[in-house]
Amino acid sequence: MADSHTPPPLTAPLAPVPGRASPSSPEAFWADADRHLVRYGGTFTREIIDRAAGSFVYTADGRKILDFTSGQMSAILGHSHPEIVATVQQGIATLDHLFSGMLSRPVVDLARRLAESLPAPLEKALLLTTGAESNEAAVRMAKLVTGKHEIVSFARSWHGMTQAAASATYSAGRKGYGPGAPGNFAIPVPNAYRPDFTTADGALDWRRQLDFAFDLIDAQSTGSLAACLVEPILSSGGIIEPPPGYFAALRDRCRERGMLLILDEAQTGLCRTGTWYAFERDGVVPDILTLSKTLGAGLPLAAVVTSAEIEQEAYDRGYLFFTTHVADPLVAAVGNTVLDVLVRDRLDERARSLGAFLRQGLTDIAERHEVVGDIRGRGLLAGLELVVDRESKRSSSELGAHVTRRCLELGLHMNIVQLPGMGGVLRMAPPLTATEDELSLGLTILDQAIAEARAEL
């Protein structure tokens, strides 16, 4: 017989508290959430999510919501993909977590397969957990190898919330936390829709903009430029894709100054944009590549990939990034399954065809609604910017928030850029496994939401 100190079983029903709603009620849920959760960015979506499958999430009250964000822009195979489920079930029962100095077959296999998917000389991989951690490791490696410390990034960048990553993040979160890492500089974003440097015909003059940017960098630098850390397509910055030729010119600026080029493909890597890696469009191979979100298809897996030469130099100098979950076998096995599905189902081709379908649908919406100012992105990473009018291009955070809210009410989860002056930009990143019917449903809801928001505002 259990003594008086034996705790109740975990599955035991919670005892009712006088004056409190049932523990399973929505009222109790939100009371607990409001009382006990730290708010870590904006407000929580006021839906209790019960489960997720494929392109949809399902709420506790029975609503079915089309997920146009793939979770946090990560679940490229949709939610609860059966092969991912099977891999996790097998891994958790056989090989989940090891001492960080031990190696397992899933880890070595994933490192080899990532190298095989990439152009030379990228062949050495470090497996980690999140995008912030991978960027932290990449910046740390670049500083050690170059013997320098200054980092250059885009002015609307998002690279993570840990120290070095946050110091290279300019889209949000810089005020109120004290100084970031010393030697971080921002350069302007080449935004063709809102050009700051223009040619005679009013188009973006990105070459002059880039020259101006590095003139300022050179003026501020203490002579210790280590690396340039940038996204091939800025996502939190508003789905902004630098024009063809930009990254080749950026690489040349880096070479001239002895800097390494680090590309952060957290959202663009692994077929999202219609090619395995977004940098393929430009024929520019980074010195260091970081992957995260899409690599784990929703599970915490990230990678830093670099050349044997850089890795050797880092090793010789005593590179240290010994963390609790480095080279964990369970998530590495998931990464291998993600690669299996991407290759077998040709999801790069699927992202191209579905991306064209989505783009056409957004173009049709733009023809019906003058508040659509711009459509941009590549593959299944798309952005739609809402404006007060196309002539002035004046953004409207109120309109963007209204459309986003109405979409959710109608059964479509969208993501809005949370930057000052960019609140009218909607981000879309459906799973690569989505169907045309699901994309059509999302487009129909978006069309209705824009029409109703215009009428109300």
Predicted local distance difference test score (pLDDT) of residue 4 = 42
CB atoms within 10 A of CB 296: 24
231 catalytic? Reply is yes
Tell whether the torsion through CA atoms of 321, 324, 327 and 333 is positive or negative.
negative
Q: What are phi and psi of 204, to 5 degrees?
A: -65, 125
Supply the pLDDT for residue 36.
97
The amino acid present at 155, given as its one-letter code, is: A
Convert the pLDDT of each residue in 188-212 to its tens digit: 999 999 999 999 999 999 999 999 9
pLDDT one-digit tens code per residue, 319-337: 999 999 999 999 999 999 9
pLDDT attached to residue 24: 80
Reply yes or no on whether 267 is catalytic. Answer: yes
Half-sphere exposure of residue 436: CA atoms within 13 angstroms, side-chain side: 8
Tokens (6 digits) for 349:
């081709």
> Looking at 19-23, 33-37, 250-254, 329-333, which range is the least confident one?
19-23
With a cut of 60, say whether residue 19 has pLDDT above it.
no
Mean pLDDT of the residues in the chain: 94
**Intra-chain end-to-end CA distance of the chain, in Å:** 67
pLDDT in tens, 225-280: 999 999 999 999 999 999 999 999 999 999 999 999 999 999 999 999 999 999 99
291-304 pLDDT, tens digit per residue, is: 999 999 999 999 99
Catalytic pick among 67, 150, 158, 206: 158
pTM > 0.85? yes
pLDDT in tens, 45-63: 999 999 999 999 999 999 9
84-344 and 66-74+346-456 share a CATH fold? no
Instruction: Say which residues have a Cβ less than 8 Å from residue 258's Cβ, sequence separation at least 6.
Output: 146, 148, 225
The β-bridge partners of 123 are: none
Which candidate in 67, 264, 282, 438 is catalytic?
264
Q: Which of 143, 267, 276, 328 is catalytic?
A: 267
**Residues 302, 308: contact at Cβ < 8 Å?**
no
Q: Would you call 264 a catalytic residue per the annotation?
A: yes
Q: Which among 19, 118, 131 is positioned nearest to 72, based on CA atoms? A: 131
Token digits for 345?
Answer: 């189902």
Question: Quick one: pLDDT band at residue 2, thresholds 50, 70, 90?
Answer: very low
The superfamily in CATH containing domain 66-74+346-456 is: Aspartate Aminotransferase, domain 1 (3.90.1150.10)
Domain ranges of the chain: 66-74+346-456, 84-344
C-alpha to C-alpha distance for 35 and 44, rounded to whole angstroms? 13
Active-site annotation holder among 150, 231, 328, 385: 231
- Respond yes or no: is residue 293 known to be catalytic: yes
Q: What is the crossing angle of helices 329-344 and 347-368, to 10°?
A: 70
Statement: 84-344 belongs to CATH 3.40.50.300: no
Catalytic residue chosen out of the listed positions 293, 350, 352, 376: 293
Instruction: Tell me how far apart the 2 most distant CA atoms of the chain are, in Å.
Output: 88
